[in-house]
Structure 1
Amino acid sequence: MKDYEVYSSLKVPKNSKIIVRLDGRSFHKLADDLNLVKPYDENFYKVMADVCKDLFKEFSPSFVYTFSDEISLLLDKIPFDGRIEKINSVIASFTASSFVMHYGGDFKKPPAFDSRIIPIADGDVLKYFKWRQDESWKNCIASHGIYFLKSKYSNNEANDKINGLKSSDIHELLYQNGINLNDVETYKKRGIAVYRKSKKIIGFNKKENKEQISYRTYAYVDWDVPKFNEEFFENII
């Protein structure tokens, strides 16, 4: 019967880097069920940041990035001997469980995440995360745009008015109505990142009778990420 497991032997190439991208399944409906605050629910983002920390501690990625209901993990130490089926299923289920644990409360329907694997070359890491950060900015503009229009029109009218508008058009519409997106919190525009940082630990060496300085790494949640560039990634990866 083992022969029926036709995809279980698919593996990531050895000595490669991958990105695992997770997306919430039907999270628009979940947001309505949970009565999330529009256009951004601060508690939801705190939960997503906690989920990212759990993923960081469990799977030791080099970098984790999230916006909206999307999470990307950069892995250079590939778990599960590179087995694609195992990586996707375990990381997706772990993410959903972490989300439920941190969010608490009652769900009308169990939340779920899908998972995909993206092989990535060193030279493309920055390109990938710049691409996702650009999507975060577009998502910020669209979220504020539809929220503003729904405050003025019915849902159907608001959807009709925003349909086909470019991000620049929505940005200008908001600005003309006193909403400057440059003033919103950074995480809403650029997302949230988790990566390793080191902190100084000052102890005392009894044997040598003197202070001793060491450094310990920890998972740092960055709510104020810059626009991604080469220098940023050179310093953290």
Structure 2
Amino acid sequence: MKEYEVYSTLKVPKNSKIIVRLDGRSFHNLAKDLNLVKPYDENFYRVMANVCEDLFKEFSPSLVYTFSDEISLLMDKIPFDGRIEKIDSVMASFTASSFVMHYGVDFKKPPAFDSRVIPISDDDALRYFRWRQEESWKNCIASHGISFLKSNYSNNEANDKINGLSSSEIHELLYQNGINLNDVETYKKRGIAVYRRNKKVEGFNKKENKNQVSYRSYVYVDWEVPKFNKEFFENLIG
């Protein structure tokens, strides 16, 4: 009956990098169930950062990046012999389990994530993460915009007023009402990233009888992510 397993042999192209993108399923409803603070719930973001760190330690990607309920992993070491069905199912279930574990509450409905695999080149990796970071900024503008309007109007009126406004128009509306988005925390504008950094370790080499400097890598959760650029990815990928 093995031959009835549709797509079970579909694999990532050999010697390719991939991005695995995970998205929360129906997290709009989940946000209501959890009574998340608008426009940004700090505890939710701490949980998402913890989930990203778990993914990094479990699957060894080069980078994990998150904003809102979305997570992207850049991978050059492909797990499960590149089997797409396996990558998608295991990563989605692992992410949901990690989310539940770190949130530590009784959910009305089990949270879930979907997963997709995107083969990518080094150059396109930068383009991809710039695109997602731009979406993070748009999300920041829209979230603050609707939150401001709902503090002054009914939900229906607020939705009507923001409908059709561009990001720049929402930004200007907020600025005219004393809200400067340039002053909000970096993670709200640019997301959160997890990757490896090196730290300097000084010690004494008894064998050679001299002081010695070495560097050790560690998992770094970056809440002050820079705007993604070529230099960042060259240092990341090596």
Work out whether the TM-score is over 0.5.
yes
The answer for the alignment partner of 2:158 in structure 1 is 158
Map Cα deviations across residues 200-232 of structure 1 (whole Å, 9 max, x no partner). Answer: 223343444443432211111111111111111
How far off is 1:169 after superposition? 0.9
The one-letter amino acid paired with 2:18 is I
Map Cα deviations across residues 35-65 of structure 1 (whole Å, 9 max, x no partner). Answer: 1111001111111111111111110001111
The answer for the alignment partner of 2:104 in structure 1 is 104
The answer for the alignment partner of 1:91 in structure 2 is 91
2:37 is paired with a residue whose SS is: coil
Question: Does residue 173 of structure 1 match 2:173?
Answer: yes
2:64 is paired with a residue whose SS is: strand
Cα separation, 1, equivalents of 2:224 and 2:15: 32
2:48 is paired with a residue whose SS is: helix
Cα separation, 2, equivalents of 1:101 and 1:229: 34
Map Cα deviations across residues 172-203 of structure 1 (whole Å, 9 max, x no partner). Answer: 11111110101100110011111110112233
Cα separation, 2, equivalents of 1:55 and 1:68: 16
The one-letter amino acid paired with 2:39 is P
2:165 is paired with a residue whose SS is: coil
1:219 is paired with a residue whose SS is: strand
Cα separation, 1, equivalents of 2:136 and 2:197: 24
2:137 is paired with a residue whose SS is: helix
Moved over 6 A (4+): none
The one-letter amino acid paired with 1:53 is E
Cα separation, 1, equivalents of 2:122 and 2:183: 34
Cα separation, 2, equivalents of 1:228 and 1:161: 33
1:77 is paired with a residue whose SS is: coil
How far off is 1:106 after superposition? 1.4
Structure 2: state its 5+ residue gaps: none
What is the TM-score of this pair, normalised by structure 1?
Answer: 0.97
- 1:142-153 matches, within 5 Å, as 142-153=142-153
The one-letter amino acid paired with 1:161 is K
What is the TM-score of this pair, normalised by structure 2?
Answer: 0.97
Cα separation, 1, equivalents of 2:57 and 2:215: 18
Root-mean-square deviation (CA), in Å? 1.1
Structure 1: state its 5+ residue gaps: none
Cα separation, 1, equivalents of 2:75 and 2:153: 45
Cα separation, 1, equivalents of 2:213 and 2:109: 50
Cα separation, 2, equivalents of 1:50 and 1:155: 32
Cα separation, 2, equivalents of 1:182 and 1:122: 30
- 1:126-205 matches, within 5 Å, as 126-205=126-205
The answer for the alignment partner of 1:122 in structure 2 is 122
Question: Does residue 4 of structure 1 match 2:38?
Answer: no
Cα separation, 1, equivalents of 2:124 and 2:146: 33
Cα separation, 1, equivalents of 2:109 and 2:52: 22
The one-letter amino acid paired with 1:47 is V
The one-letter amino acid paired with 1:87 is I
The answer for the alignment partner of 1:60 in structure 2 is 60
Identity within the alignment, %: 86
1:39 is paired with a residue whose SS is: coil
2:6 is paired with a residue whose SS is: coil
